[in-house]
A = this chain, B = another copy of it.
Amino acid sequence: MTRPLEIALLGLGTVGAGVAELLQRHAELLAERAGGPLQLRRVAVRDPDKPRDVDLDPDLLCGDPTLVAADPEIDVLVEVMGGIEPARTLLCEALRRGVHVVTANKELLAKHGAELREAALQGGAGLHCEAAVAGGIPIVKALAESLSGNRVQALYGIVNGTTNFILTRMTQDKVGFAEALKQAQDLGYAEANPAADVDGDDAASKLAILAGLAFGAEFASDDVYRAGIGHLTPTDIQAAADLGHVIKLLAIAKDRDGQVELRVHPTMIPADHPLAAVHGAYNAVFVHGDAVGDLMFYGRGAGRMPTASAVLADIVDAAQDLRRGVSGRIPMPSRRLAVLPMTEVTSRYYLAIQVADQPGVLGAIATVLGRHQVSVASMIQKGRRDAPVDLLFVTHQAVERQLLAALEEVAGLPQVERIAQVIRVEGSEEA
């Protein structure tokens, strides 16, 4: 029973080096918690001769991931190399052989989750993915285990640190998007090509996984509607503040009577909402369950040691299952849920409409909105006399399709210069 469990690591980049470091630093603590020693047996790296900042026996390194993954002595295979291939093939083969897999690879899970689960079922192996979403925040276990007594009704995530950093800078320093993005790049929070982050694609992949766990169903990244933050201006940030709100890029999943809304977009939330206090590169996931009510999980969504922390929790879970001789845990979808088309989603909306300041313009717009079942909750008039002014509206709940039709008609009104901005609003009393 006290034979060490043999761990193989695919990848020794940022997260992989963190995992190797924690296995060393906490060897004793981990042995207690896992019911026996954890032994790092082999590490697949691209270049075994490259200097590294983690103190590892060079004999452990191997340039061929296939050799490492196929080692018949390994108990747990940890994949932190990223990308689809060869990860997909290697993990599926290992799972079918009964090797427990821990992965941080959100693209792989979002694209080939079903295949991985199938392989895990065949082999009786566990498939663990705490590190794939929201870094160090234990949201995967929370959704898969801690909310068993609930039907999750809604989930709101700040799951992309880059965009949250940019929006925090725009809000606190009142700078524009381009300047905030440059700060993020200078500090290493944003890539040279930031598209995957600022366009919402990264958040969409994560939302597909989170919603799958929350609703016990299977979703793909492509099921998620997405809009990025590149079009937001200091004017929008200020207007939100004037309304007692802040703008966050939220990943939103809602259960609507058996259909699911899945969407990533800039969202106005009240300034006293717990998600509004999530600043900089931090992440948070806010969940509403029918029994538990509101819950929020907050922490570092990326980075070497926070992500390695999530990987280690999975390794210890896998080790305990191995020690107890039971087959592994696999988060399984148990329901089929259709994704509601974005046009059928209901939301409240913030609208900034630039108009010529003529008598009757407000009435004309309100009439058009009303004809499309879009009801106005509040209105503020900005700007000065004799100049084009902004009318800022917040609507009650409206159907996106009707809102879009209304806006098309509003844009055609003679007194209307342009629809300057549309931002969805969440999180106040009126759900």
Secondary structure of the A side of the interface? Answer: mixed
- Residues of chain B lying within 8 A (CB to CB) of residue A291: 18, 22, 136, 305-306, 308-309, 312
Report whether A26 and B149 are in contact in the complex, using a CB–CB cutoff of 8 Å: yes
Which of chain A's residues 139-166 have a Cβ closer than 8 Å to chain B?
A: 141-142, 145-151
Residue of B at shortest CB range from A28? Answer: B334
- Residues of chain B lying within 8 A (CB to CB) of residue A313: 145-149
- Residues of chain B lying within 8 A (CB to CB) of residue A295: 136-138, 297-299
Flag A261-294 by CB within 8 Å of B: 1 or 0 each: 0000000000010101111000000000111111
Of B151, B293, B308, B324, the contact of A26 (CB 8 Å cutoff) = B151
Asked whether A300 is an interface residue with its Cβ less than 8 Å from the other chain, the reply is: yes
Complex Cα spacing A311 to B30, Å: 28
Report whether A296 and B293 are in contact in the complex, using a CB–CB cutoff of 8 Å: no
Asked whether A32 is an interface residue with its Cβ less than 8 Å from the other chain, the reply is: yes
Report whether A151 and B289 are in contact in the complex, using a CB–CB cutoff of 8 Å: no
Also in contact, A216 and B141, with CB within 8 A (given A293-B300, A295-B298, A298-B295): no
Report whether B279 and A277 are in contact in the complex, using a CB–CB cutoff of 8 Å: no
How many whole Å from A333's CB to the nearest CB in chain B? Answer: 11
Interface size class of A (residues with CB under 8 A): 35 or more
Residue of B at shortest CB range from A332? Answer: B32
Which of chain A's residues 331-348 have a Cβ closer than 8 Å to chain B?
A: 334
Report whether B277 and A289 are in contact in the complex, using a CB–CB cutoff of 8 Å: no
Report whether A34 and B279 are in contact in the complex, using a CB–CB cutoff of 8 Å: no
Asked whether A371 is an interface residue with its Cβ less than 8 Å from the other chain, the reply is: no
Report whether B149 and A30 are in contact in the complex, using a CB–CB cutoff of 8 Å: yes
- Residues of chain B lying within 8 A (CB to CB) of residue A310: 146, 149, 292
Residue of B at shortest CB range from A289? Answer: B309
Asked whether A316 is an interface residue with its Cβ less than 8 Å from the other chain, the reply is: yes
Also in contact, A148 and B299, with CB within 8 A (given A274-B277, A277-B272, A291-B306): no
Complex Cα spacing A58 to B34, Å: 45
Asked whether A379 is an interface residue with its Cβ less than 8 Å from the other chain, the reply is: no
- Residues of chain B lying within 8 A (CB to CB) of residue A299: 292-296
How many whole Å from A410's CB to the nearest CB in chain B? Answer: 37
Asked whether A326 is an interface residue with its Cβ less than 8 Å from the other chain, the reply is: yes
Report whether A300 and B309 are in contact in the complex, using a CB–CB cutoff of 8 Å: no
Which of chain A's residues 117-153 have a Cβ closer than 8 Å to chain B?
A: 130, 136-138, 141-142, 145-151
* Chain A residues within CB distance 8 Å of chain B: 18, 22, 26, 29-30, 32-34, 130, 136-138, 141-142, 145-151, 216, 272, 274, 276-279, 289-300, 303, 305-306, 308-313, 315-317, 324-327, 334
